[in-house]
Amino acid sequence: MERLQKVIAASGIASRRKAEQMILEGLVKVNGTVVTELGTKVKDNDEIMVNGKPIAKETKEYYLLNKPRGVVTTTSDDKNRRTVVDLIQTSARIYPVGRLDYDTTGVILLTNDGDFANIIMHPKSNIDKVYVAKLNGIIKGEQINKLKDGVELDGQKVKPSRVKLKKADPEKNSSIVEITIHEGKNHQVKRMFESVGILVDKLKRIRVGIFELNDLGSGEYRKLTPKEVSIIYSLKK
């Protein structure tokens, strides 16, 4: 379910603020009943009338993008940098589900379906977010154990569901670690490694739940299948 003013704005007939004003003025009906309360939530199959005319509902779209470096995870950027939305050819008002840092690559989902996005991001969904980190230095067993035990970020203890050393290269003084988390705190993976005394040189997210990059190249994307979308909806609590 989504907020009424958001659905009206997504239809393109008014801005979010104008839609709120229309609701307050009694110009909006849902299933034949005038609605004047902001924050009212509606379902996909609800009939919405504005000024006596039905709104055209936006078709739901779902994408998996292999985010390149140097692209921001937002719908617009005041520094005129490329955004993840710029990389996808669609007229729908899609937005990223969660975020990846400017220099982090890999899996990012985009959609215009608020319910789908909420399921992915809600902690109760317990969805794996799997990263491969190239570290500046050789990570030690005691550091990995500290991560597994949990580290404090923003006054809260967080710990990965899995940490696996994949490679250590003494000549290059680097190591590669696969780490799986469920939360989505700002810069979380980098800060977790920093908290045990090691810096991340490169970071790539290789999986979110059932969604993997497979053969998608950097900057490439694909539409999700109806089956994939239904699997996510089956996780709704």
Identify the CATH number of the domain in which residue 94 sits: 3.30.70.580
Q: How many domains does the chain have?
A: 3
Q: What is the CATH number of the domain that holds 139?
A: 3.30.70.1560
Mean residue pLDDT of the chain comes to 94
- Same domain? 103 vs 203: no
**What's the chain's Rg over C-alpha atoms?**
21
- Same domain? 112 vs 149: no
Instruction: Name the pTM for this structure.
Output: 0.83
What mean pLDDT is predicted for residues 170-178?
97
- Same domain? 174 vs 141: yes
Determine which one of 77, 78, 86, 101 is catalytic: 101
Q: For residue 160, what are the CA distances in angstroms to 32, 42, 150, 170? A: 49, 36, 7, 25
| pLDDT tens digit sequence for 71-87 | 999 999 999 999 999 99
- Same domain? 97 vs 150: no
- Same domain? 203 vs 135: yes
Q: What is the CATH number of the domain that holds 21?
A: 3.10.290.10
The pLDDT, as a whole number, for residue 201 is: 97
The answer to whether the CB of 147 falls within 8 A of the CB of 159 is: yes
Torsion, Cα 7 10 15 19, to 10 degrees, reads -20
Instruction: Give the CA angle between residues 173, 174, 177 to the nearest 5°.
Output: 155
- Same domain? 190 vs 220: no
- Same domain? 117 vs 219: yes
Q: How large is the angle between the packed helices 226-233 and 114-121, nearest 10 degrees?
A: 60
- Same domain? 120 vs 217: yes
15-24's contacts with Cβ under 8 Å and 24+ in sequence apart are 22/50, 22/51
State which of 54, 71, 94 marks the end of a domain. Answer: 54
SS3 readout for the chain: CEEHHHHHHHCCCCCHHHHHHHHHCCCEEECCEECCCCCCEECCCCCEEECCEECCCCCCCEEEEEECCCCECCCCCCCCCCECHHHCCCCCCCEEECCCCCCCEEEEEEECCHHHHHHHHCHHHCCCEEEEEEEECCCCHHHHHHHHHCEEECCEEECCCEEEEEEEECCCCEEEEEEEECCCCCCHHHHHHHHCCCEEEEEEEEEECCEECCCCCCCCEEECCHHHHHHHHCCCC
Instruction: Tell me the residue range of the domain where 90 lies.
Output: 62-124+213-233
| pLDDT tens digit sequence for 111-166 | 999 889 999 998 889 999 999 999 999 999 999 999 999 999 998 999 999 999 99
**Residue 101 annotated as catalytic:** yes
- Same domain? 68 vs 44: no
- Same domain? 79 vs 111: yes
- Same domain? 115 vs 138: no
Q: Which residue has the higher pLDDT, 198 or 14?
A: 198
- Same domain? 120 vs 132: no
